[in-house]
Structure 1
Amino acid sequence: MNALGLSMIVKMGCICARESIDINGIKYIVKERLGEGGFSTVDLIEHKGTKRKFALKRILCHSVEDQKVAMDEISYYKKLKHPNIIELVDSTFKGSADIVVNATSEAYLVLPYYRRGTLHDYLTLRSFNRNYLDVKEIIRLFMEICQAVKYLHDFTPEAIAHRDLKVGNVCLTEDMTPVLMDMGSCATAKVQVCGAQDAQKLQDLAAERCSMTYRAPELFHVESYCVIDQRTDIWSLGCVLFALCYFKSPYDFVYERGDSVNLAVISGTITFPEDTPFNEDVHDLILFMLKVNPSERPYVDSVIEKTRQLKNKIEPVV
């Protein structure tokens, strides 16, 4: 599976008539469909000359607003440069550049192809035999993911929130380096909500772009007058660390039981397995991030410091 599922239904299969596409003068052959969603698809493509493989994300735009959303995603890819954040190889639009209402265009994003797939894929495979990761490896992976988040939160002139951090949005390189992807959910971190209309708009956007089992409580029920900031990502990081330990977000387990994720998140209910191989220090780090009240939630620097302390406790500095 390709690492760019982006909350899509994975749908493997060959494309019988091999499509050839030209992106800014470079020719690629479409090898197979990797995933598809409501308005976008991801294909495995191969450079016609070098045979190097890439992932092609196609975003279908039906309106000016759709095109603006696609252009914003491309803009984030272009300005974010970090070893733990996916790079944009190339991009273009197919169709009208001056799109009008009811016209259709398509954004093409050429991205790296990660043969190992996503952290979600990796954890799913390990979950079949309850093959828990070693705590040192968990800390290494989590610390690198935190570094990517810190880069976003420290970005100038304005801090950026990812808004859809989850194990399905973390690719793995050949040497098991985590790489954060899906910049389509990114937004200015600090949002001032002024009134019920603003609140409903943000809540609807969160429902569309932020995966439910990793979504922060304040995005389930946005208050009419409040400030939403980058600490939505800290809640998601807590869910990611839980998944590194137990293969899934704590709220994936709630969803699978058929219980209300909304109610479980709002109440801050966290249940750790009884037969856990991890000690209280690991659980404390998870709970440190999963504070229902965002004002009680730490910023990423505090998360990194607490993770470093745990690392030093497990591997004392000589």
Structure 2
Amino acid sequence: MNAIGLSLIMKMGCICSKEVININGVRYIVKEHLGEGGFSTVDLVENASSRKLYALKRIKCHSVEDQKIAMQEINYYKKIKHPNIIVLIDSSFKGSADIVVNATSEAFLVLPYFSLGTLHDYLIVRSFAKNYLDIKEIYKLFSEICQGIKYLHNFSPEALAHRDLKSANVCLSQGMVPVIMDLGSCAPAKVQVCGAQDAQKLQDLAAERCSMTYRAPELFHVESYCVIDQRTDIWSLGCVMYALCYFKSPFDVVHERGDSVNLAVISGSLPFPEESPFDESVHDFIKFMLQVNPSERPFIDSVIEKLQVLRNEADAVI
């Protein structure tokens, strides 16, 4: 057999060996692995008929409780409809759904594929050359992220909180439109904590599902008797705004040094660079959201109102 024939057979073998997943009668061919988190993996897949690309999120469920959490995420996707929040194309469960020891099932979520990647990816590229975003671009991106969060916070019949907002959970669609993704941590915004057991449960959940360098201080040490509300997302928004200016959360540097993020968060001290292209009004806006005491932190409407004032001021500068 000549080299060309052997090469052709090898290529055909590679094509045939690609994983094919059937979801509600639609065949998807796995193209490549995109990433993974603590509870899921994401692959780039192609619809075998239309050849359109999608992101396939797989959630491994090792218990009935895991299945409930995955189903809750799917249900949130089905209920939530907003241009700045990702949509669910399709979903299914495969494997055992019975209460059996060591039984495993898997949830499949077909989501849009964003070729531009995430805001986190975009900021990393800009950071290499210290290529700061223009303040008007920052305000535009942040404004649209705020609109998505406002939709969640005003959701009826019950306000929702995202609880894991970060630059890596914001995709960029064509035209640089931010789209909030990953509703795996989404939950009712208001949580009444009654006792040490409730507090520990919420604190453990936050440690599992809320990224440390974007996590609100009240989720690091949950008080035994308190109310946690949607202002956890406002803290995360403050970190996102900081990242839009300086490429990463103010607490990423602390984490990279190996220092305590927890102590840095509750200290209320923000490390703004000495040399900055942004004026004091931008820093004040970030501080406005990063109030350690949640009762002093604004709600989303106040954030949007203050942002609009800043945008008007920026537009007035020739």
**TM-score (normalizing by structure 1):** 0.93
Residue of structure 1 equivalent to 2:191: 191
Equivalent residue number for residue 281 of structure 1? 281
1:248 aligned to 2:248? Answer: yes
1:70-119, Cα deviation, whole Å (9 max, x unpaired): 00000111100000000000000011244534211100000000000000
Which deviations, in whole Å up to 9, do the C-alpha atoms of 1:221-254 show, x marking residues without a partner? 0000000000000000000000000000000011
Residues 15 and 148 of structure 1: is their aligned pair in 2 closer, same or farther, counting only changes over 3 Å? farther
SS state at 1:178 partner: strand
> What percentage of residue pairs aligned between the two structures are identical?
75
**Aligned-partner Cα distance in 1 for 2:152–2:25:** 32
> Aligned partners of 1:16 and 1:256: how far apart in 2?
43
Residue deviations 1:190-230, cap 9 Å, x none? Answer: 00000000000000000000000000000000000000000
Counterpart-to-counterpart distance in 1, 2:16 and 2:296: 54
Per the alignment, residue 174 of structure 1 pairs with 174
Alpha-carbon contact 2:64-2:97 (below 8 Å) kept = no
Which residue number in structure 1 is paired with residue 223 of structure 2?
Answer: 223
Query: 1:91 and 1:267, CA in 2 relative to 1: closer, same or farther beyond 3 A?
Result: same
Q: Does 1:22 align with 2:22?
A: yes
In the alignment, the residues of structure 1 paired with residue 237 and residue 45 of structure 2 have an alpha-carbon distance, to the nearest angstrom, of 32
* Contact residue 89 and residue 110 of structure 2 kept, 8 A: yes
Quick one: distance in 2 between partners of 1:16 and 1:171? 32
Secondary structure (helix, strand or coil) at the match of 1:49 reads coil
What residue number does 1:297 align with? 297
Change (3 A) 1:15 1:254: farther
Inter-partner Cα distance in structure 2 for 1:42 and 1:68? 20
Aligned residue in 2 for 1:162: 162
For the residues of structure 2 that align with 1:131 and 1:271, how far apart are their CA atoms? Answer: 19
Residue 170 of structure 1: how far off its partner (Å) = 0.1
* One-letter identity of the residue aligned with 2:233: D
Unaligned runs of 5+ in 2: 1-13
Deviations 1:176-201 (A, max 9, x none): 00000000010100000000000000
1:10 matched to which residue of 2?
A: none
Find the counterpart in structure 1 of residue 66 from structure 2: 66
User: 1:121 is matched by which residue type in structure 2?
Assistant: D
CA RMSD of aligned residues (A): 1.5
**Aligned residues of 1:64 and 1:101 also touching (Cα < 8 A):** no
Structure 1, unaligned stretches of length 5 or more?
A: 1-13
- Distance in structure 1 (CA, Å) of the matches to 2:38 and 2:171: 22
**Matches for 1:1-318 after TM superposition, within 5 Å:** 17-316=17-316
Q: Which runs of 4+ in 1 moved over 6 A?
A: none
Query: Cα–Cα, structure 1 residues 15 and 162, in superposed 2: closer, same or farther, change >3 Å?
Result: farther
> Contact 1:99–1:105 (CA<8 Å) still a contact in 2?
no
SS at match of 1:312: helix
Measure the CA separation in 2 of the matches of 1:208 and 1:15.
Answer: 38
Q: Within 1, Cα distance between the matches of 2:224 and 2:296?
A: 20
SS at match of 1:59: strand
Partners of 1:36 and 1:145 lie apart in 2 by 23
Take 2:274 and 2:16, find their aligned partners in 1: how far apart are those partners?
Answer: 49
Instruction: Report the Cα distance in structure 2 between the residues aligned to 1:152 and 1:173, rounded to whole angstroms.
Output: 20
Give the letter for the 2:124 counterpart.
T
Structure 2-normalised TM-score? 0.93
- 1:7 aligns with none
Q: SS at the partner of 1:183? A: coil
Task: Report how far residue 21 of structure 1 moved.
Answer: 1.1
Residue in structure 2 matched with residue 11 of structure 1 by the alignment: none
Give a deviation string over 1:135-158, Cα, whole Å, max 9, x none. Answer: 000000000000000000000111
